[in-house]
């Protein structure tokens, strides 16, 4: 008995619907970075498991687009006999469609899975974008996982720092000020923030997959599966109007007549635009105001971050002390520690911390050449040994009851070669250059990005990912709108933003290096801001070429390590304390 491959099954859909191609995003209706298995159509179709990308399937070709983080990984996961690989940004879909497809080609897409800005880009090509009336995967994905039904819990006001009622009133006042009748909210983390709730629909992303409509009078209609709300207090539910999730688009049609509805060009499904415009409403294109307000943390949230980082720092130190003992002992015994063993033990140390809920993303536990893949995740098939011959990179974090953490350390367990030391020092210099920077208030991330890259640029090197991202408050590990990257970002960096600083370097098939701290942006002298580190994890200095660092660099390292040592020494396990004191000892005297 033969079975039809996913690719051929989708091509049968093309044939049946008279289409020349179909667009398949790595997206759900909420543009989630990490989609639930039910919504991960790109992975089912291609085998690619990364968090960013999309595909264009034609009758005789299939193209997958991924960014720089996944150029190595995608070639390991997809069938290269079936799939062409293009760069998501350097060779974008719209340009490929114009350059390589016949004029008038009919390309199908799901309006709930495409945001308006992307729709406008593809609509401007010489192809015709055809909205599909139904989900084409329903008929061809036989063993599709069920839609998620995670329960919803309350985020207490004493942890969030502001009541949901106050937040709704604030946003409603902005709508009234702009003469807008409704705000359509499709980002689950914005809904979670607005209602002071957290969910469990997606592992490690504590959000509720749902939609909402907020009126300028403060009334909110929440489109959510009622089964999920059983644990919520009646005082919250009584303040809202609840409807099934599949009623969202019909409701947008119903309220549209003569109304002005605010949509976010980059996050709202184009299906909402179609619903409003075709039923007599006016779309007001504005960034969802919740996104920017949510990114500026209040004092209670900020203290939650600091507390969660103290706990996470203790877990890190317990882990690193254990690792420094286990790697040489296991290697000498001929039974080297593996990536999976290391990440499992790290999770144990996190689970020992009060308030720990789950990981904030899938741990990147990567040795040697595996670390050259920026978003590598160890599996039984790839599980490599951690030895003294190579770098080991660990990028991980935790969801705590009062905050979210994210940090990366690259470690060595013996002296490595001169090239590796040079590259490690260049990454460290870039990290220090940015984290010590004082910058004018109102600066944008793309204006600061080069500070972290210059030491690598001087060697003719670079890295193909952003330098820093926002982090949610017991929410998403990647939170907008601020970002530090080469790409222009219109949102200024503001005191109260939580960001990461994480330059790296990746030599394909050999090794990867990244150093990352989570930071809080704070006001410094009048008119200026600076970064204050939240992450409390010792930095491996064993591979540093001190001749390449300035006195100011050394001073920052010593001050940082002193702060880490004094903060964490009462919190770590007793057997980890000697290691902590050893690796955070002042280096200024040694260097001079």
Same domain, 258 and 323: no
In terms of DSSP H, where are the helices of 398-474? Answer: 418-435, 445-457
- The 10 Å Cβ neighbour count of residue 592 is 8
pLDDT of residue 525: 93
Burial class (CB in 10 A: 0-12, 13-18, 19+), 228: buried
Determine, yes or no, domain membership for 272.
yes
DSSP string, 271-303: HHHHHHHTTT-EEEE---HHHHHHHS--HHHHH
Burial class (CB in 10 A: 0-12, 13-18, 19+), 417: exposed
Answer with the one of 66, 100, 131 that is the final residue of a domain: 131
- Strand pairing category for 282-285 and 260-263: parallel
Sheet with 128-131, side-by-side order of all strands: 84-87, 62-66, 54-58, 21-25, 106-109, 128-131
Determine, yes or no, domain membership for 423.
yes
Contacts of residue 66, Cβ cutoff 8 Å, sequence gap at least 6: 48, 50, 52, 53, 73, 74, 85, 87, 88
Same domain, 529 and 546: yes
Q: What is the dihedral of CA 353, 357, 362, 366, to 10 degrees?
A: 10
With H, G, I as helix, E, B as strand and everything else as coil, classify residue 392: strand
For tokens 């989630």, name the residue.
Answer: 32
Same domain, 282 and 309: no
Contacts of residue 173, Cβ cutoff 8 Å, sequence gap at least 6: none
What Cα–Cα distance (Å) separates residue 405 from each residue in 307, 396, 425, 478, 511?
Answer: 10, 8, 25, 11, 25
Helices 299-332 and 551-568, packing angle to 10 deg: 90
Burial 313-330 (b: 16+ CB within 10 A, else e): bbbbbbbbbbbbebbbeb
User: Rg of the chain's alpha carbons, rounded to an integer?
Assistant: 25
Q: Which of 249, 134, 131 is nearest to 184 (CA)?
A: 249
- Tell me the pLDDT of the chain (592 aa) as tens digits: 346 899 999 999 999 999 999 999 999 999 998 889 999 999 999 999 988 999 999 999 999 999 988 888 899 999 999 999 999 999 999 999 999 999 999 999 999 999 999 999 999 999 999 999 999 999 999 999 999 999 999 999 999 999 999 999 999 999 999 999 999 999 999 999 999 999 999 999 999 999 999 999 999 999 999 999 999 999 999 999 999 999 999 999 999 999 999 999 999 999 999 999 999 999 999 999 999 999 999 999 999 999 999 999 999 999 999 999 999 999 999 999 999 999 999 999 999 999 999 999 999 999 999 999 888 999 999 999 999 999 999 999 999 999 999 999 999 999 999 999 999 999 999 999 999 999 999 999 999 999 999 999 999 999 999 999 999 999 999 999 999 999 999 999 999 999 999 999 999 999 999 999 999 999 999 999 999 999 999 999 999 999 999 999 999 999 999 999 999 999 999 999 999 999 999 997 565 5
Question: CATH number of the domain that 180 lies in?
Answer: 3.40.350.10
- The DSSP output letter for 312 is H
Q: Which of 545, 531, 314 is nearest to 432 (CA)?
A: 531
Angle (CA) 337-410-428 rounded to 5° is: 165
- Strand pairing category for 153-154 and 197-198: antiparallel
Determine, yes or no, domain membership for 248.
yes
Same domain, 390 and 352: yes
Region of 77 (left: φ > 0; alpha: ψ -120 to 50; beta: rest) is: alpha
Sheet with 403-404, side-by-side order of all strands: 356-359, 398-400, 403-404
pLDDT of residue 590: 61
Same domain, 55 and 101: yes
Determine, yes or no, domain membership for 1.
no
- The 10 Å Cβ neighbour count of residue 478 is 20
Cβ atoms of 71 and 43 closer than 8 Å: no
Query: What range defines the domain where residue 365 resides?
Result: 299-585
Determine, yes or no, domain membership for 273.
yes
Answer with the one of 245, 262, 294 that is the final residue of a domain: 294
Cβ atoms of 514 and 395 closer than 8 Å: yes
Q: Which of 385, 308, 370, 383 is nearest to 514 (CA)?
A: 370
Say how far apart CA 540 and CA 394 lie, in whole Å: 12
Same domain, 172 and 23: no
Same domain, 366 and 312: yes
Strands (E) across 235-274 are located at 241-243, 260-263
Say how far apart CA 321 and CA 68 lie, in whole Å: 33
Cβ atoms of 272 and 263 closer than 8 Å: yes
Q: Is the peptide bond before 481 cis (omega within 30 degrees of 0)?
A: yes
Question: Total structural domains in the chain?
Answer: 3
Determine, yes or no, domain membership for 138.
no
Cβ atoms of 214 and 182 closer than 8 Å: yes
Name the strand (E) or helix (H) holding 518. strand 517-523
* Percent of the chain as helix, strand, coil, to the nearest 5: 40, 20, 40
Determine, yes or no, domain membership for 62.
yes
Same domain, 468 and 493: yes
Question: How far out from the chain centre does Cα 417 lie?
Answer: 33
Same domain, 340 and 465: yes
Same domain, 290 and 306: no
Same domain, 188 and 124: no
Say how far apart CA 245 and CA 10 lie, in whole Å: 27
Question: CATH number of the domain that 488 lies in?
Answer: 3.90.230.10
Tokens of 506: 């990746």
pLDDT of residue 237: 93
Determine, yes or no, domain membership for 146.
no
Same domain, 116 and 257: no
DSSP string, 540-572: P-TT--GGGS-HHHHHHHHHHHHHHHHHHTTTS
Q: Which of 241, 255, 245, 246 is nearest to 283 (CA)?
A: 255
Q: How many helices (H) and strands (E) does the chain have?
A: 20, 28
């Amino acid at each position: 008995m033969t079975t039809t491959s996913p690719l051929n099954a989708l091509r049968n859909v093309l044939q049946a619907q008279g289409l020349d191609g179909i667009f398949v995003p790595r997206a759900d209706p909420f543009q989630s970075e990490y989609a639930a298995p039910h919504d991960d159509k790109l992975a089912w179709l291609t085998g690619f498991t990364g968090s960013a990308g999309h595909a264009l399937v034609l009758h005789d070709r299939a193209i997958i687009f991924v960014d720089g983080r996944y150029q190595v990984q995608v070639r390991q996961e997809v069938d290269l006999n079936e799939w062409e690989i293009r760069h998501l940004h350097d060779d974008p879909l719209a340009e490929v469609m114009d350059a390589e497809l016949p004029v008038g080609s009919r390309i199908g897409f799901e309006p709930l899975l495409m945001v308006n800005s992307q729709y406008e880009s593809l609509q401007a090509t010489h192809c015709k974008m055809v909205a599909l009336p139904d989900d084409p995967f329903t008929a061809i994905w036989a063993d599709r996982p069920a839609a998620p039904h995670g329960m919803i819990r309350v985020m207490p006001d004493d942890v969030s720092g502001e009541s949901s009622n106050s937040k709704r009133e604030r946003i409603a006042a902005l709508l009234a000020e702009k003469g807008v009748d409704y705000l359509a909210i499709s980002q689950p983390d914005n809904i979670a923030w607005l209602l002071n709730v957290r969910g469990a629909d997606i592992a490690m992303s504590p959000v509720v997959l749902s939609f909402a409509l907020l009126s300028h009078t403060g009334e909110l209609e929440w489109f959510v599966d009622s089964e999920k709300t059983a644990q919520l207090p009646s005082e919250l539910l009584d303040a809202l109007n609840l409807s099934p999730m599949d009623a969202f688009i019909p409701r947008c049609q119903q309220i549209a007549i003569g109304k002005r509805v605010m949509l976010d060009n980059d996050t709202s499904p184009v299906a909402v635009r179609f619903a409003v415009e075709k039923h007599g409403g006016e779309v007001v294109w504005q960034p969802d105001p919740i996104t920017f307000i949510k990114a500026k943390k209040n004092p209670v949230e900020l203290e939650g971050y600091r507390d969660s980082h103290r706990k996470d720092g203790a877990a890190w130190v317990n882990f690193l002390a254990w690792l420094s003992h286990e790697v040489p002992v296991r290697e000498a015994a001929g039974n080297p520690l593996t990536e999976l063993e290391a990440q499992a033990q790290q999770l144990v140390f996190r689970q020992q911390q009060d308030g720990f809920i789950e990981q904030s993303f899938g741990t990147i536990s990567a040795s040697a050449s595996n670390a050259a893949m920026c978003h590598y995740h160890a599996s039984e098939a790839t599980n490599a040994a951690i030895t003294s011959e190579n770098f080991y990179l660990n990028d991980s974090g935790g969801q705590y009851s009062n905050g979210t953490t994210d940090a990366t350390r690259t470690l060595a367990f013996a002296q490595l070669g001169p090239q590796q030391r040079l590259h490690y020092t260049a990454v460290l210099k870039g990290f220090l250059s940015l984290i010590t920077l004082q910058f004018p208030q109102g600066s944008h991330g793309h204006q600061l990005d080069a500070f972290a890259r210059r030491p690598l640029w001087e060697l003719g090197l670079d890295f193909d990912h952003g330098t820093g991202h926002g982090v949610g408050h017991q929410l998403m590990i990647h939170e907008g709108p601020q970002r530090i990257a080469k790409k222009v970002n219109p949102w200024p960096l503001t005191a109260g933003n939580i960001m990461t600083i994480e330059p790296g370097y990746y030599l394909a098939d050999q090794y990867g290096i990244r150093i990352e701290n989570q930071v809080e942006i704070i006001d410094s002298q009048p008119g200026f801001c600076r970064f204050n580190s939240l992450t409390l994890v010792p930095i491996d200095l064993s591979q540093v070429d001190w001749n390449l660092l300035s006195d100011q660099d050394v001073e920052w390292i010593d001050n940082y390590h002193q702060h880490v040592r004094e903060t964490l020494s009462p919190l770590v396990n007793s057997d980890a304390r000697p290691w902590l004191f050893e690796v955070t000892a002042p280096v200024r005297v040694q260097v001079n």
